[in-house]
Copies of this chain bind each other. A is one copy, B any other.
Amino acid sequence: MATNGRRQADRAAPATIYDVARMAGVSPSTVSRALNKPGRINASTEHRIREIAEAIGYRLNPLARALPTGRTQTLALTLSDITNPVYFELIRGAERVAASRGYILILAESQESADLENETAQRLLSSVDGLILVAARLDNSDIVELGKRKPILTVNRKVRGIGSVVADVRPGIRDALDHLQRLGHKKLAYIAGPSSSWMNRLRDRTISSEAGDRGMKVVTLGPHVPTVAGGAAALEAVRESGATAALAYNDLMAIGLLKAGHEVGMRIPEQLSLVGFDDIFGSDFTSPPITTIRTPHALLGEQAALRLIAELNNEAAHRHTVPRTEFLQRSSTDRARLGRF
């Protein structure tokens, strides 16, 4: 029978520093220092305390520590859609770095809703040391507001006064456009993602500007939801646009367009060249495999975690290199067709 009513009857209460202190014949504060202020305590005492702690299976209670120190050793990462394959490597990168530095990573999903994102972030904020906002749908002012409460960092979005990790989209876009130009394409369509997406606007602008430099025309179609279904929905508009090549906001949409096109008998790349974005899992085993502009997501996740943790510990900011996108030629692009299809 548990002595403490709030515990489940059959679960043993974990050992505390008070238990260790009693067994070692010292005060709890001595145990605390022995365990995490190396050198502060006589070496032999420290050793004895460590042995006893080990023997009775003492484990620090992170919550109890967090209360007075305000440090939870936890990071939160919010994103619009957990199941979007774009984020897998990013999540893993952040998780690995966090774990290696002794931090726990909490994931939260905003389901493409700014309100939900804000609410979630607010709720989590008091339980974490810092927050990574991936592809935030929030207003700038909300983000700034969050930044006043805890250190935060945005990925693939820039907000004045807030640290960010953003992939440089230009190198990949340049190479993609050079590639399309060599293939004779003159008129392109950009299939836009959500209008609330900062990254969507960046890709849109960069494509337009780079295409302009090359004397190519770009028409922006959308916005569309950034999913397979959203890409499929764009098919008709792409046909009507008269473009010979389409760049989708992301691979998910490119895949959707590819499937939808396939169903109505459109041949890709013969009738339409298609370029995706991100190089997600699966984009290489469609048929044809999708030519895409790769985003180094694992690197983004790692850098985000690394920089946030550095900030938390007041470490000197790492000299940080901007991750670059990279053009990946596969088989969904080919020479521009001549007539309409």
Residues of A within 8 A of B (CB): 6-8, 10-12, 14, 59-64, 66-67, 69-70, 72, 82-83, 85, 88-89, 91-92, 95, 99, 104-109, 120, 122-124, 126-127, 148-151, 255, 258-259, 281-282, 285-287
Contact = CB atoms under 8 A, between A and B. Distances in A.
A91 B95 contact: no
Given A8-B151, A82-B91, A85-B85, A127 B104 contact: yes
Given A14-B126, A282-B282, A285-B286, A88 B92 contact: no
Given A106-B106, A149-B12, A149-B14, A70 B6 contact: yes
**Identical copies of this chain, number:** 2
Given A59-B122, A63-B66, A109-B92, A150 B11 contact: yes
Q: What 7 pairs between A and B have smallest CB-CB spacing?
A: A282-B282, A287-B287, A83-B88, A285-B286, A63-B66, A83-B92, A61-B126
A148 to B, nearest CB: 6
26 contacts: A11-B150, A12-B149, A59-B122, A59-B126, A63-B66, A63-B67, A63-B126, A63-B127, A67-B67, A82-B88, A82-B91, A82-B92, A82-B95, A83-B281, A85-B85, A95-B109, A99-B108, A99-B109, A104-B106, A105-B106, A106-B107, A255-B285, A258-B285, A259-B285, A281-B282, A287-B287
